Amino acid sequence: MSPFRSVFAVVLPLALVTAACSAEEPPKPPPHTAVESVAPPAPTPPPDPMAGFYAQKLAWGECAPFATSEDSRAAFRVPDLECARLSVPLDYAKPEAEKISIGVLRHKAVGERIGSLVLNPGGPGGSGMVAAAGIAVQAAKGEAGKRFDIVGFDPRGVGASEPRIRCLTDAERDADRADDSETDGSPEGVTKQENEARDFGAKCAERTEHGTAMLANLGTRDVAKDLDLLRAALGDQKLTYLGYSYGTQIGYTYAEAFPDKVRAMVLDGAVDPGQDALESNLAQVTGFGKAFGEFAKWCAEQPDCALGRDPAGATKAFQDLTRPLIEKPVPAGDRKLSYEDVGTAAVQAMYSQQLWKQLNAGLAELKQQRGDKLIALADQYNERGADGRYGAIQDAFTAINCVDNPKITDKNRIAEFLKKSNEAAPFLDDGKPDGAALDTCAFWPVEHTSEPRTPKVDGVPPVLVISTTNDPATPYEAGVNLAKAMNGSLLTFEGTQHTVFLQGVPCVDDAGTDYLISGTLPPANTRCTT
């Protein structure tokens, strides 16, 4: 039986039913008597529960009260910054219920203003407010800062937005960082990893305000809706957007949800929309492996290369230097440098060639059984301040990824991923047997809200995708795929770093700025170098 049934029935008025069953002529109204038919009043439509959110105005003020870390306190000292809070629904399915707030930062245009350039630096979990403060300095030197207000926002649960995702305490984070026992691939080691993964999700739900309701509404789907409220609050009819790394995912998710509200988009360092979590992670590991190869070539040309003068031997030299830390960490200030710390430091250095000298110096220092320079690199990645306090990026990174992606519980797939990862980036191979442990997302206390798929962006103006040939975190092919998926234009930067726009490369900056101002895309197959 069908679960559906009609709620409509044809019911004839009683007078007409009586007339149809009678042979007599129905009585006529008296002479000169008007028969009036008065239509019932039209029902009053219910009020739009989102109207108030779209009508809100931002109350701009000082940025100092929005600082939540050493990085943000330093960034917000840039002159002429303004900050505000945007009110958004916790759950867009229940906009009349709980509300949360989004932190927003603005540096106003210094010339003939077009509108706002809203940006996100990625992560997920990166602070758009901190990024905008930094980019404003560079952008103010060129046309982008003259024509656009530079606007950054901290996505829900991140940075100055309230409430913030909270999972581990600073002490717990330090203990986890220093513990290398997960390198044991034994059944006992796998069980320990899975228990820790399960415990992490439980702590996120317990320590975050609104608990599982917040975790369930933390994903990119909801961030895109917040972004449209921000667009309206800024007074822009259409959105001009710059997304780096995971910020590209926010961009194409917004474009799919609000295609008629897009003015222009620059998406730099693309997240491939068609990949699931394991596929994306493997592509990223492969990118770091290639970047390490470039580092090894650079290092071999330095007279003081800690890994020797032969690039082909750099991986083994790195392994020989770092693997002993699993059993015997070395001093690093008043802490110990763990094997995990060195891997984190190396990954951090792969993001930019500017950090290669620091990595080489740190590896040379490790030969002397000291870890001060390497732990400083790891602290940059983890957003750990000199005061021992951690930023929220690691908690937010996990929480957002877990709600954005389907759970992966196939241990055969996980084992294959680990095998391929060691082959793609052997410098990160700890030499121990791999245990196919389920990760935190497999035990996440709420269900995911998104699926990997190509976005449907019919009606969206052409976008500009920028991809770097040796980007370690978001490989070049992901940009190629995203440009095709969005019917956009691809600009290639030949280099080894993660993202490039508005970072001082004239060829890239000029092409991207021209597009943002005029809508004119660079010629097809444009390639830029330093």
Point out the residues that are catalytic: 245, 471, 498
Write the CB contacts of 237 (distance below 8 Å, at least 6 apart in sequence): 261, 263
Q: Is residue 162 packed enough to be buried (19+ CB in 10 Å), middle (13-18) or exposed (0-12)?
A: middle
CA distance 404 to 402: 6
Give the chain's end-to-end CA distance (angstroms, integer). 68
What's the CA gap between 327 and 405, in Å, rounded?
Answer: 35
Q: Considering just the CA atoms, what is the radius of gyration of the chain in Å?
A: 28
Is residue 472 within 8 Å of 496, Cβ to Cβ?
yes
> For residues 182 and 189, is the Cβ–Cβ distance under 8 A?
yes
Tokens of 22: 């009678």
CA angle 108, 158, 440 (to 5 degrees): 150
Q: Tell me the Ramachandran region of residue 431: left when phi exceeds 0, alpha when psi lies from -120 to 50, beta otherwise.
A: left
Neighbours of 376 (CB within 10 A): 18
Cα(339)–Cα(344) distance, rounded to whole angstroms? 9
Q: What burial class does residue 342 get, using C-beta atoms within 10 Å of its C-beta: 0-12 exposed, 13-18 middle, 19+ buried?
A: buried
DSSP 438-505: --GGGG-SS-----------TTPPP-EEEEETT-SSS-HHHHHHHHHHTT-EEEEE-SSBS--TTSS-
Closest to 352 measured CA to CA, from 506, 503, 168: 503
Three-state SS letters, 88-110: EECCCCCCCCCEEEEEEEEECCC
Conformational region of residue 433, where left means phi above 0, alpha means psi within -120 to 50, and beta covers everything else: beta
Amino acid at 444: W
**Which residues, 6+ apart, have CB-to-CB distance to 88 below 8 Å?**
53, 99, 100, 101, 102, 156, 225, 226, 229
